[in-house]
A and B are shown apart, each in its own frame.
Chain A
Amino acid sequence: MKLYFRELKAYRNSTIIWIVSLSLLVIVFLSMFPSFTKDVEETKNILQNLPPFMASAAGISPNVMFSIYGFVSWLLTFVTLAGAVQSMNLGVGILSKEESGKTADFLLTRPISRKSVITSKLLAAFSLILITNIVFCLTTFAMAVVVVDTDFSATTLMLVLGKLFLIQLIFLALGFIVSVIINRVKSAIAVSLPTAFSLFIIGTLGVLLGVDSVKYISPFKLFDSDYIINNNAYDVKFLIGEAIFVLVAVALSYVIYIKKDIKAAS
């Protein structure tokens, strides 16, 4: 328990910065929503004639796009990119920082098992991501109430926003497994930033070029906004897929970390 709170405290400032930046991002973009809806009226008709291969970069069909859900989905493209960097950074850093900070021998000579070390750390990382998501959802929801003058469904909006959590969870798990597999992570951000951005580039470019299978490679495109908005639910097969990935990654992290030869400070 002590370790859990220690980690929460260690990441307190950086998490606050992340939460504030994500909230600012959503406030700035959503404040432009009223002027955007004006543009929409002018072009709705021309858009009907768009040829099908002109897919949208956000993967949203034209008629959904003009609602608040569609707008938020588009906005989430950037939020999820930032969120992926945050969570992967956290996932890579939280286990490896003992080694890179040369505090591993201090921590592991305490009377706690490695299992409880990793449990506390994973739980702390998960809690931080959860807090980020709760604050972000509340901010977005409050902002939506202010800028949207028609009625909208809170459930649909929350489902759309839930994409952030689902994507962050994947990157968190990816971060854990990467940090225990790589022998010595010198700098967490040098691992997480290129990974998150490459997957982002693959995903965006893939959708832009109409490669449908890209969603199996890039977590950013795993949950289709169009599907969420039209069905008011997530695609169950991808939810199961994600659950399996996360569970396997976490289980492997336990197995590897418990047996790993952790280098002491020399």
Chain B
Amino acid sequence: MNIFWREIKYYKKGLLFWSLGMALLIWSSMIKYSTFQTAGQSVTDLISKFPQSIQTIFGLTGFDLTKASGFYGVMFMYIALMVTIHAAMLGAGIMSKEERDRTSEFIFVKPVTRNKVITAKIMAGLVGLIAFNVVTLLSSILFINLYSHTLDFINDIYLLMAGLFFMQLIFFFIGTATAAISKKPKLSASIASAVLLVTFILTYLISFNSDLDYLKYLTPFKYFDAKDILAHHSLDIVYMLLSLVIVAVATLVTYVSYNNRDLEV
């Protein structure tokens, strides 16, 4: 339990900055929305006639920007990007920082098993993820309400946040797994960020060229696409299962390799 509280304390300040950043992002975007509301309606129909590659290249994502839900849908990609960076950095950092700061000797001569240490760290990380998710949810509701005066898609927001949480889990556990495998503590954060960067660019590549559609299983950003969620008002069960499988495998890898590895001292 001590380790858990210690980690919570360690990441408290960082989380505060992340939350502020998220609130600012949503706030400044929603201010801008109030100016979009008045723009014409016919645009959306026009845009939907374009080939997909053109839509992607111009950042026209098939959302109706005159509606608060469409506007929020465009922002969702960037919100997702922000929370996944947080999750990946948190996952990689929380597992590797003992080795990085040369405190692994200290922690592992305490009367705790490695399993207990891992569990405490993962639990602390999960609390961070949930807190960040809740902050995102609350700032979304607050600022959408403030600037569009209607919250007719509140259920969709809950769904989007659930999708967001799946993405957070995936990248958090990718982070912990790389930290558990990699012998060099600094390398784990780099690998986790490389995964993030590659999957993010892949998302654009797939939207750009529909022949590459089968690659969508490789990038978590496509699992919970705001466009699909807002259109169908539900999360895709296949992707939810796939996410759970990824999370389960990554968790297993974290425990097994961290338990069996010769730690740097």
Contacts and interface: CB of A to CB of B under 8 A. Distances in A.
Contacts of A35: 53, 209
B50 interface: yes
A102 B59 CA distance: 46
Nearest to A59: B59
Given A35-B209, A186-B101, A204-B78, A56 B59 contact: yes
B264 to A, nearest CB: 12
Nearest to A184: B101
Contacts of A47: 50, 54
A250 B97 CA distance: 30
A45 B86 CA distance: 43
A197 B85 contact: yes
A49 B57 contact: no
Contacts of B40: 51
Nearest to B211: A35
A258 interface: no
A209 B29 contact: yes
A193 B39 contact: no
Interface string B186-203: 100110010001000100
B34 to A, nearest CB: 11
B39 A187 contact: no
A190 B11 CA distance: 13
A58 B57 contact: yes
B208 A85 contact: no
B51 A43 contact: yes
B169 interface: no
A189 B101 CA distance: 15
A198 interface: yes
B54 A208 contact: no
A201 B85 CA distance: 12
A210 B65 CA distance: 13
A129 to B, nearest CB: 17
Interface in A189-223: 189-190, 193-194, 197-198, 201-202, 204-205, 208-211
A194 B22 CA distance: 12
A202 B21 CA distance: 11
Contacts of A100: 100
Interface of B is mostly: helix
A197 B81 contact: yes
Contact of B49 (A46, A65, A186): A46
Contact of B197 (A55, A82, A204, A210): A82
Interface string B23-61: 001000100100010011001001101110110011110
B201 A25 contact: yes
A65 B57 contact: yes
Interface in B72-95: 74-75, 78, 81-82, 85-86, 89, 93
Interface residues of A, number: 48
A108 interface: no
Nearest to B212: A32
Given A74-B57, A205-B75, A32 B209 contact: yes
A193 B159 CA distance: 28
A168 B58 CA distance: 24
A39 interface: yes
Given A39-B54, A51-B39, A51-B43, A201 B82 contact: yes
A78 B201 contact: yes
A57 interface: yes
B204 interface: yes
A54 B59 CA distance: 9
A35 B58 CA distance: 17
Interface in A75-104: 78, 81-82, 85, 100, 102
Contacts of A40: 54
Given A186-B101, A190-B189, A58 B54 contact: no
A56 B58 contact: yes
Contacts of B86: 194
Given A57-B59, A190-B93, A193-B85, A211 B32 contact: yes
B60 to A, nearest CB: 7
Given A54-B43, A58-B59, A205-B78, 12 more contacts: A32-B53, A36-B53, A47-B50, A51-B39, A51-B43, A56-B58, A58-B57, A74-B57, A186-B97, A194-B85, A194-B89, A201-B81
19 contacts: A28-B205, A32-B209, A43-B50, A43-B51, A51-B40, A51-B43, A53-B39, A56-B57, A57-B58, A100-B100, A189-B89, A189-B190, A197-B82, A201-B81, A201-B82, A204-B78, A208-B74, A209-B32, A210-B32
